[in-house]
Amino acid sequence: MSVTELATITVGDYLDAKGNVRVTSAVRVDVSHNGEERPLFWSNKRVVAAMDAYLAWRVERKQGVTVKKGAYRGLDPESALFLTEDGGAYSLTKRQLPSGVWSYSCNALGAYISRLHANAGIEGGSAQSARRTFAVKQHRQGRDLVHIAAILGHKSVSTTKRLVEGDPVRLADIVARAV
């Protein structure tokens, strides 16, 4: 997901009213970076465990909670899924591109993600580099570009192809086999 998408998805995109994880959800049109809905899967056990721990932490600190007991695990379904350290929603910056199209960014969340990468020892890591790593790993494992593009929300498979073509491991392998 893009940083802007992460900043704007809600608790209701992750949980149903009974508090169960929505294994299959969607990146809504109003949230997606390309203006098109696409599937969103909460099926990775490690991601779900981390998300559940994070949401329990939020409830303990009363961040984004609702008065409806039990619904959505006590969280407001319209609350942003990811909150700032102060418990507020991340703010978006709106700007108009030279083409006339409006673009949104979330620099605070992008900076936070970069700090998480740095703390994990990943130099120069960002949300975009994580998306690229995901695409390259899926491609190395034999996943087709059409499915990778759908998950990443690319309108064109050529965008995904450009992401995976610069795979440094593949380039090194080509050089190693050249002699």
DSSP result, 99-135 = TS-EEEE-HHHHHHHHHHHHHTT-TT--HHHHHHHHH
Same domain, 4 and 76: yes
Q: Note down the domain range covering 146.
A: 126-179
- Residue 58 in contact with residue 75, Cβ under 8 Å? yes
On the question of pLDDT at 116 being above 70, the answer is yes
Same domain, 38 and 104: yes
Same domain, 33 and 59: yes
- Tell me which of 80, 106, 122 is where a domain ends: 122
What integer is the mean pLDDT of 32-43? 85
On the question of pLDDT at 169 being above 80, the answer is no
Structure confidence by residue, pLDDT tens digits, 69-87: 778 999 999 999 999 989 9
Same domain, 101 and 151: no
What's the pTM value of the predicted model, to 2 decimals? Answer: 0.79
DSSP at 82: S
What is the structure's pLDDT at 99? Answer: 87
Same domain, 141 and 85: no
Same domain, 160 and 88: no
Average pLDDT over the chain, rounded to an integer: 88
What's the pLDDT band for 14 if we cut at 50, 70, 90?
A: very high
- Cα separation, 94 vs 101, in Å, equals 10
Same domain, 99 and 139: no
- Residue 81 in contact with residue 11, Cβ under 8 Å? yes
What integer is the mean pLDDT of 38-49? 92
Same domain, 89 and 144: no
- Cα separation, 146 vs 1, in Å, equals 16
- Tell me which of 83, 102, 122 is where a domain ends: 122
Same domain, 81 and 145: no
Same domain, 85 and 135: no
Q: Which of 45, 34, 64 is nearest to 150 (CA)?
A: 34
Same domain, 52 and 77: yes
Query: Total domain count for the chain?
Result: 2
- Residue 117 in contact with residue 126, Cβ under 8 Å? yes
Same domain, 150 and 104: no
